[in-house]
């Protein structure tokens, strides 16, 4: 079994995170399933105060935010590392609906976010 990739905590302390256990409860899956989702590159984990966490904004009710996994795949294909992906997702962009890519994804602007992720590869 491979190790879980862990991004540096480049997020501000104002960005809420939840433990993998909390994420599993919210998603209605096992903690092992959440770990596998991180290994598969469909979710990014970071370590805050010694605990593996994920940004709370990555979860919408009982599922991952629509378009998150696809966006992470596009960014990975563009050569982004997990820490760079976190930075990209949470960096403000005045021209983007929602102002940050993660907020745009949360407001069903996935097509625009993926287009910008693809453009980042160029």
pLDDT tens string 10-58: 999 999 999 999 999 999 999 999 999 999 999 999 999 999 999 999 9
122 pLDDT above the threshold of 90: no
Q: Is-contact 58 18, C-beta < 8 A?
A: no
Query: DSSP label at 56?
Result: G
What is the band of 1 on the pLDDT scale with cuts at 50, 70, 90? low
User: What pLDDT is stored for residue 4 in this prediction?
Assistant: 92
| pLDDT at res. 73 | 95
User: Tell me, what's the pLDDT at 120?
Assistant: 79
pLDDT at 77: 93
Q: Measure the CA–CA gap between 78 and 83, rounded to whole angstroms.
A: 14
Per the listing, tokens 């966490």 go with 53
- Asked if residue 67 lies in contact with residue 74, where contact means CB atoms within 8 angstroms, the answer is no
Sorted by where each begins, the domain ranges of the chain are: 6-120
pTM of the full predicted structure?
Answer: 0.93
Give the Cα-Cα-Cα angle 108, 45, 11 (nearest 5 degrees).
75
- pLDDT tens by residue, 49-108: 999 999 999 999 899 999 999 999 999 999 999 999 999 999 998 888 779 999 999 999
Q: Which residues pair with 55 in a beta bridge?
A: 17
Angstrom distance (rounded) from CA 66 to CA 29: 17
């Amino acid at each position: 079994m491979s190790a879980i990739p862990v991004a540096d905590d480049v997020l501000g302390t104002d960005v809420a995170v939840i433990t993998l256990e909390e994420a599993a409860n919210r998603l209605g899956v096992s903690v092992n399933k959440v770990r596998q989702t991180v290994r598969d590159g469909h979710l990014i984990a970071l370590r805050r105060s010694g605990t593996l966490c994920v940004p709370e904004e990555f979860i919408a009710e009982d599922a991952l935010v629509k378009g998150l996994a696809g966006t992470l795949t596009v960014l990975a294909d563009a050569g982004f590392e997990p820490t760079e992906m976190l930075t990209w997702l949470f960096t403000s962009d005045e021209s983007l609906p929602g102002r940050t890519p993660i907020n745009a994804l949360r407001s069903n602007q996935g097509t625009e976010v993926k287009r910008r992720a693809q453009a980042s590869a160029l």
